[in-house]
Structure 1
Amino acid sequence: MGGQDFEISIAERVIVEKYGKNTLDLYRKIERNSFRSKKVEKDLKFLEICKCYGTIPDFIKFRVYCPTFQTTRTYRSWCFDLLDWEIDKQKKKIPTIKKKLEDDTTLLTSCISYFDSKCLLSLNERNMEKKLCNVDFRHNKKLTKLGIDLNKKVDKNKVIFNFSDRILSDEQKEVLSLGFDHCIPPSTIPHNQFFLCFEKLCHTIKNCEIYKDRWNHITNSISTVAHDTYKKFKCHVKSIHTPYPSLTPLIALRDDNNIVITKPDKGRGVVILNRDDYFSKLNTILSDSSKFKPIISDTATHLLKLEDKLNRLLRSIRTSIGEMTYNFLTISGSKPGRLYGLPKIPKIGQPLRPIISAFESLFTNVPLNETTDIILNKTTSSLLNSYGLNKTTYRKLLDIAVHNSVFTFNGSIYTQNKRHKNLSVIGFVDVIVVSIKIDDASLLPVILKVVMCYNIAHKI
């Protein structure tokens, strides 16, 4: 007989001798309810973990006449309905069991001495620990069998940087520690955006010589592929029933208008800032009149002027550059980049690094004119002539791209001050171009497209 069993048997004999068999039965009832209340809580946690990971426990699965039906979305949806029912059932058990346990414990303490009640309840707690360890072991074994390893967790304090006034709950930290890659698959596809990609494909290959004789056949084939893919996706989405309860704690964060959730400027992680601090830091950057200036005119009107300026220049050289290059470089339906900031975590005060959407950074110390001169010098005249360009025209194209970049922030549109010689969104493109020797004919149209279209506006 083990030491603990021997200790329990002695305790039971003492209870019977001092207080009678009814008191012993009451104590055993407390033992059972104490263990049941803890076990139900652990069973509930096990079920919620399975639901969070989109996994069906084995005991939920049921037999069907056709085994292949178990692989269908319908079968999984039914299993998740049963899982939800089981979770609700376990949740309802907990208050009932705890109420019985509380009543029995109160009755026991009234029947025996204070010292004996403390000893018996302490003995009961120690006895439960061993049983609960066995429960945890079984649950972890089942989770591992289901492909869930709870030991593979990151240190939340190393990936979540909360500089806001909001206090995060444990559930919110748990979900945020999964990172920005943890997301819900799209349930819908924007109709216009989906088919616009195929329209662009047709527009791109329209003037290719190899497709001219079979153009109608090519467009019909692309149209068929586009519509079939769209219909298959819609049918696939309707049949999916995968719950994502793990994202529920983020709803409160999403609805909190006093914070901004972003990522650090380097590395992986989640950063939470007070919205007022975030906007104040970006406004401080934009308040430097030597570098930036707001544009008073309407955004759409200003973009149309920039597009027209570039397209007029392209029309003047349309004959020399050829129809294909002209269509490749012409821009329309554009929108400006959007300014946002990524906090520099190691630095005091967490200053923001300004970023333009569709670009990797906002370079504020790239010498514009010098960089443009280097690009021109590294581009040979023979290469430019093969595309119907000369260095004068190429310089004009670069100047339009470099000196007319715009971006938006907080509903306003800004441009970089032309008087400041060391500013450009194009900086990172210039640096890449300068670092290579432009002697490959296939590089020039790509460089031109990036230089012009991405710096005037981010195309839809």
Structure 2
Amino acid sequence: MIVEANKGGKVVTLNKDDYFSKIEEKLNDTEMYEQVTNPINNNSISEFTEKLFKQNNIKQSLKLQLNSIDDLPRIRGQPKLHKVNHSMRLITCSRNTIQSSISTFAFSFIKELRTTIDNSMNNASEFVTKITKINMEEDENLASLDVQDMFTNIPLTSAVDLVINRIENSTTFNESTLSKTDLKKLLILSFSNNSTEFNKKIYKQKRNLPMGNCLSPILADLYLDDYISKHLSKVNREQKLFRYVGNILIITKMTHIELNKYVEELNQIKSNIGFTTEFEKNSKVNFLDTTLTKNTNDNKIDVR
């Protein structure tokens, strides 16, 4: 089988049996998934959209659109080439499924909330542009923090509450007739049909955010933004922390030993969020698809 790898835009060839086995190994995690015989139907979506229609919050054409698809999402896997044994990251393919229309509708109200997020980048190009302008001090070091299994460790209820707390920053929402209660219900419904299909079996994700839903990235970004603000004050300094999804680059005066101890302390916080770390070696550290080198001649960061 030819599949896309998790990072780097690489395409790899895998044995079909190995591909299926590694995905099913993830799906057999009973803390996260359960196999079901009858997936949740779209009655709850139908009832809620009918309520919005009767309250003149949506037009009939939109109501029909939000209820037009019954197909379940499907799961595919992306091998993590940078991990031991090349474990799989599960992606839920939600386009043109029971979740897609209502998730897209909800996303239209919250996408502006990205402007409330600090130190987050949209892509590697934006990161390179920013990092090459940074001046480092002689005693500063480069290091990275990675959030472990980010999407499946973001608590849905907390992430939705953060959206509601910030939603007044959305012009689209402010100009709509929806209430905050309506939007919260809309977001919950977008994740309530968390049944997916793989190899002729149906699984339900028990909690947190599925990869593949268009709402998951922004909810994860909002949650991590809040989490970093509350718990990572020691490294969360202006022009010293850069984040792309769950990948964080920090410029720090901590030594390797001090950083490892700091990450251990972070991982003892009572939450599902955990970090791994990589400290620079020979003034170099890998981040996203780049290699960063601390240039001691001009105190800049070279990118390759």
- With the shorter chain as reference, the TM-score category is 0.3 to 0.5
Query: Could you say which structure has the higher helix fraction?
Result: 1
Q: Which one scores higher on RCO, CA 8 angstroms, separation ≥ 6?
A: 2
Larger radius of gyration: 1
| TM-score between the two structures when normalised by the length of structure 1 | 0.33
Q: Which has the higher strand share?
A: 2
With the length of structure 2 as denominator, give the TM-score of the two structures.
Answer: 0.48
